Structure 1
Amino acid sequence: MLISSYKQNPARIPALGARAFALLLLSLLLMFLDHRDNHLDAVRNAISAAVYPMRIIVAAPVNFWAWASDLSKSKKELQTENSRLRAEILLTAARLQRLTSLEAENNRLRDFLEARRRVQDEVRVVTIMAVDANPFKHNIVLDLGSSQGVYAGQAIINADGIIGVVMEAGPLTSDAILISDPGHALLVEVNRNGLRTLAYGTGEFGRLDLPGLPNNADIRTGDLLVTSGLGGTFPSGYPVAVVDTVTRIPQDAFAEVTATPTAALDQMREVMLIWSAQHDEQATNDE
């Protein structure tokens, strides 16, 4: 077809060559003028402004894909960062709980050390291994036994006061009863005036009853009750409880008196056993 078209119009080729040559000269002239005097800046800016929407339309799919990829990547990175931060928060909280527990234990041991300095008798810190599950029996098991010198009737204290007494000493462990047990009673005296009476356990960790005081007994709310030293079980002068209620009924012979133990009997992990001088002398005499 091209051959036939050339045969029909043989003068077309020279005409195209002349046009191309003219366009080449025009281009060189425009380049020269633009280079020297920047006459085509306005034209170039107009063409650029006209073409800009087309550029936006052409680049839109690519830009959208890049934006979607960045968004997906950012979301994944945020989720990963969020998961990492949550794990760090949980780890920090766990460490903080452990530090809080260690701080509380350190405070308890410091209190024990301070109490030991105040105690004249020989004492030893022991750990509570178990607590009786029966809510009506306030019994505990200690991690020391007769092989370490523990004996039945040995007094138990902590940094705040009297806790209880050893009931049975096995070779490696010991069973003890708390002063709050309903079956326990100890002889106490009012630290203010020396008035003596019995303090009975009630089955509640925070209450002791003093039922044997007459209405005219000199006892007041806030009085400190300490061990009397009589009976041979508890050495004298150790805090036991603080009187919190005194109710006097005229037609009754005895007052209703209750006291709160100085020691938190339901919040203990470590306690102290007392080897009193009185017991050592008795053991020496028995030998």
Structure 2
Amino acid sequence: MQSDFKEAEINPLFVRGPSLGLRLLLSIVLAFVLMFSDYRYQHMDKVRSVLTVAVTPLQWAVDLPTQLWSWGATVFSDRNALLDENAMLKERALLLSSKNQRMAWLIAENIRLRELLNAQDGYDDRFMLGEVIGLDSDAFLHQVLINKGRNDGVYEGQAVVDVLGLVGQVVAVSAFTSRVLLIADTSHAVPVVVNRNGFRAIASGTGSMNSLQLTHVPETADIREGDLLVTSGLGGRFPPGYPVAELNTVEHQPGKPFAKVTARPLAQLERSRYVLLLNPREPTPLPEEGGQKNKATASPAESQPETPDNPEAPLSDQNTSGDNT
């Protein structure tokens, strides 16, 4: 019996650790230290990039049930539904083909008119397909995660569209994934023009997926409900001509210099599964440690930074909220 009491004293059933208040205090201190380090020191970007790569398999695993469900729905879908969808797609293809018959003539005419006006050549945009694999859990942020990253040629500030219009822009890039800020976010703004008359404005996010607002629109501006807003190309971040939104309310306020204008985004911000990234660059994988050491010991002439292919693309996180020009 005495030996049993000694064993119970040596191996107690419940071991009392630090109090909950002390654990909470340590967690708060650690959180503030990490936030200060992230704000103050640039090397935390490398840590964030490494952590993002580390959680990429987890993100793929979370997306796996959706992929399996989509595959199962495709395999076991009803034959009649597939036939109806096939007929609808054929009809749509014929309609687009009829509209495309005069496209070559219109393009040639546009080129001739540009030559007569001595205008600048239009944009030759390239595309890369991406898939949405995650959503931001913060209710006050409108961001999505896509399965393309630095190794695929994605860069910060890259414009993202879907089949209907502008979705947003890339704000964070890791090796295999990227984070896209949607145009509905309150920190996002994009220069637009009214397609009917060329009136320029700034479309800002309101925090709602179904509404944008146009800031500082003069009371006498020629805008109407139903006008189409497209990207203006000002600032060089968003190529011109991509649909953004459709005006749904224009409220003139007597005695005030600006009208209250709201618009409805055309892109399916809450439902788009696939997106297009405009003008991807050549893939740039992360440099190895040996390459960094060689760069540090290189001569001053060799260590000068190279000029980027697109000098207008943003290279810092300070301008990820859109163009305000």
TM-score, normalised to structure 2, is 0.51
Q: 2:76 maps to what in 1?
A: 95
> Are 1:167 and 2:148 counterparts?
no
Contact 1:188–1:199 under 8 Å retained in 2: yes
Give the Cα–Cα distance (whole angstroms) in 2 for the partners of residues 285 and 244 of structure 1.
Answer: 36
Q: 2:148 maps to what in 1?
A: 144
Q: CA deviation at 1:98?
A: 10
Name the larger-Rg structure. Answer: 1
Q: CA deviation at 1:268?
A: 0.9
1:65-76 superposed matches below 5 A: none
| 3-state secondary structure, aligned to 2:208 | coil
Give the Cα–Cα distance (whole angstroms) in 1 for the partners of residues 247 and 278 of structure 2.
Answer: 25
Q: 1:283 maps to what in 2?
A: 308
Cα gap change, 1:95/1:222 in structure 2, threshold over 3 Å: closer, same or farther? same
**What residue ranges of structure 1 are gaps of 5+ in the alignment?**
1-90
| 3-state secondary structure, aligned to 1:273 | strand
Contact 1:221–1:246 under 8 Å retained in 2: yes
Q: CA RMSD in A?
A: 3.3
Cα gap change, 1:240/1:147 in structure 2, threshold over 3 Å: closer, same or farther? same
Q: CA deviation at 1:209?
A: 0.5
Q: CA deviation at 1:95?
A: 2.9
Counterpart of 1:207 (choices 183, 205, 211) is 211
Question: 1:86-138 CA distances to partner (integer Å, 9 max, x unpaired)?
Answer: xxxxx99x93379969969x97xx99xx8xx9994110111001011222211
Q: 1:121 maps to what in 2?
A: 125
Contact 1:206–1:264 under 8 Å retained in 2: no
Q: 1:185 maps to what in 2?
A: 189
Q: CA deviation at 1:157?
A: 0.3
Q: CA deviation at 1:232?
A: 1.4
Give the Cα–Cα distance (whole angstroms) in 1 for the partners of residues 238 and 223 of structure 2.
Answer: 22
Give the Cα–Cα distance (whole angstroms) in 2 for the partners of residues 262 and 285 of structure 1.
Answer: 28
Contact 2:230–2:240 under 8 Å retained in 1: yes
> Are 1:245 and 2:249 counterparts?
yes
Q: Supply the AA of the counterpart residue of 2:202.
A: L
Cα gap change, 1:169/1:276 in structure 2, threshold over 3 Å: closer, same or farther? closer
Contact 2:244–2:266 under 8 Å retained in 1: yes
> Are 1:218 and 2:222 counterparts?
yes
> Are 1:272 and 2:253 counterparts?
no
Between Structure 1 and Structure 2, which shows a larger proportion of helix residues?
1
Q: Supply the AA of the counterpart residue of 2:181.
A: I
Count of residue correspondences = 184
Cα gap change, 1:285/1:182 in structure 2, threshold over 3 Å: closer, same or farther? closer
Question: 1:49-81 CA distances to partner (integer Å, 9 max, x unpaired)?
Answer: xxxxxxxxxxxxxxxxxxxxxxxxxxxxxxxxx
Contact 2:162–2:268 under 8 Å retained in 1: no
Q: 2:201 maps to what in 1?
A: 197
Q: Supply the AA of the counterpart residue of 2:178.
A: S
Cα gap change, 1:159/1:135 in structure 2, threshold over 3 Å: closer, same or farther? same
Q: 1:47 maps to what in 2?
A: none
| 3-state secondary structure, aligned to 1:181 | coil
Counterpart of 2:238 (choices 229, 234, 238) is 234
**What residue ranges of structure 2 are gaps of 5+ in the alignment?**
1-71, 104-122, 282-306, 312-325
Q: CA deviation at 1:284?
A: 3.2
Cα gap change, 1:228/1:101 in structure 2, threshold over 3 Å: closer, same or farther? farther
Identity of aligned residues (%): 41
Give the Cα–Cα distance (whole angstroms) in 2 for the partners of residues 252 and 245 of structure 1.
Answer: 17
TM-score, normalised to structure 1, is 0.57
Contact 2:195–2:229 under 8 Å retained in 1: yes
Give the Cα–Cα distance (whole angstroms) in 2 for the partners of residues 245 and 259 of structure 1.
Answer: 7
